[in-house]
């Protein structure tokens, strides 16, 4: 795999040019058609936006773009493990079948309710995102469960994971977990990417952070962009998740901070000033909106759109 160097963190303010930097880096790395960076993005919408940004700068050949699901499928395809990623509908039907056949007491009256399976799915996702094994969950709840609720949740989670395994199925969150395990056992399954750029995330689940840390040990370079507070405008409520993301990465890897030249403006825009002081008590005088904010009376949402 070549030399590895931990994780680089590009720490910049909102709208400080992080994605533009990522686009430029991706283009520069493929300039000689030798290197092949992978850009990891949160959603398909952001993948499409990144493609458009690349095109606007003249395009690039050899840049891989994708979400966590894409990067996990790429690694899974290189392993000898065959898994079927099931849809949310299939997950819900599986959970409905499980609660129908389990001897539940605490959840007896609600187990047939339409929203119960969706709630169970959300709980299963959280447990998988935390890489919590069913056995560990069962042991943990034994000490604190007084009415049987948590024990029954643990039983459902155990059965859910067992049935996925027996059927060679995996849900999207579990796919990331499988990928972490595959890289630990078969590091040769890591593609020969020149680098990994992680852009656009405000937080990572533990299993996602584990995957990035695993890749950081196998790829020549991994860079994660993180939003930070502007100088003098630290807002804990706003930046809590960004700070948590940085702390997650620092737990496992040596961090090297990267800086970019941030764009300087002659004066702060009204709405930018409003954003920077939204959760702060430091604003000394009211903001003067002038004629930049207008009020209109319209009967419905369509009317608002027409007026806008």
Q: Domain-by-domain residue ranges, the chain?
A: 7-80+188-258, 87-170
DSSP 8-state code for residue 20:
H
User: pTM score, two decimals?
Assistant: 0.78
- CATH architecture type of domain 87-170: Orthogonal Bundle (1.10)
CA-only gyration radius of the chain, Å:
24
The predicted pLDDT at position 227 comes to 77
The predicted pLDDT at position 65 comes to 95
Convert the pLDDT of each residue in 96-119 to its tens digit. Answer: 999 999 999 999 999 999 899 999
Distance CA 184, CA 43 (A): 26
Distance CA 119, CA 125 (A): 10
Of 235, 236, 239, 244, give the one whose Cα is nearest residue 209.
244
Residue segments in the chain with a per-residue pLDDT below the cut of 50: 1-2, 232-233, 235, 237-239
Residue 179: count of CB within 10 angstroms of its CB: 28
The predicted pLDDT at position 164 comes to 98
The predicted pLDDT at position 256 comes to 75
Helix, strand, or coil (residue 37): strand
- Classified by CATH at the fold level, domain 7-80+188-258 comes out as Rossmann fold (3.40.50)
Convert the pLDDT of each residue in 11-61 to its tens digit. Answer: 777 677 889 989 998 988 887 767 789 999 999 999 999 999 999 988 888
């Amino acid at each position: 795999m070549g030399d590895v160097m931990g994780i680089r963190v590009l720490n910049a303010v909102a709208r400080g040019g992080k994605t533009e930097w990522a686009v430029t880096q991706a283009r520069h790395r493929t300039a000689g058609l030798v290197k092949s960076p992978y850009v990891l993005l949160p959603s398909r919408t952001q993948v499409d936006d990144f493609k458009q940004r690349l095109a606007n700068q003249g395009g690039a050949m050899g840049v891989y773009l994708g979400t966590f699901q894409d990067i996990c499928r790429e690694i899974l395809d290189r392993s000898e493990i065959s898994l079927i990623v099931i849809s949310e509908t299939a997950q819900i039907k599986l959970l409905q079948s499980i609660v129908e056949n389990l001897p539940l007491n605490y959840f007896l009256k609600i187990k047939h309710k339409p929203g119960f399976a969706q709630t169970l799915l959300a709980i299963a996702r959280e447990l998988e995102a935390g890489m919590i094994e069913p056995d560990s969950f069962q042991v943990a709840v034994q000490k604190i469960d007084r009415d049987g609720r948590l024990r029954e949740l643990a039983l459902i989670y155990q059965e859910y994971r067992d049935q996925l395994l027996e059927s060679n199925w995996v849900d999207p969150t579990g796919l990331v977990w499988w990928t972490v395990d595959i890289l630990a056992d078969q590091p040769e399954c890591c593609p020969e990417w020149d680098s990994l750029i992680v852009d656009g995330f405000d937080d990572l689940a533990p299993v996602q952070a584990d995957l990035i840390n695993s890749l950081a040990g196998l790829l020549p370079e991994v860079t994660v962009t993180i939003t930070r507070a502007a100088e003098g405008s630290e807002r804990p409520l706003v930046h809590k998740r960004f700070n948590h993301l940085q702390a997650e990465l620092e737990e496992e890897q040596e961090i090297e901070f990267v800086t970019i030249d941030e764009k300087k403006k002659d004066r702060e825009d009204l709405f930018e000033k409003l954003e920077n002081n939204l959760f702060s008590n430091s604003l000394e005088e009211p903001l003067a909106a002038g004629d930049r904010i207008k009020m209109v009376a319209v009967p419905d949402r369509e009317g608002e759109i027409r007026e806008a």
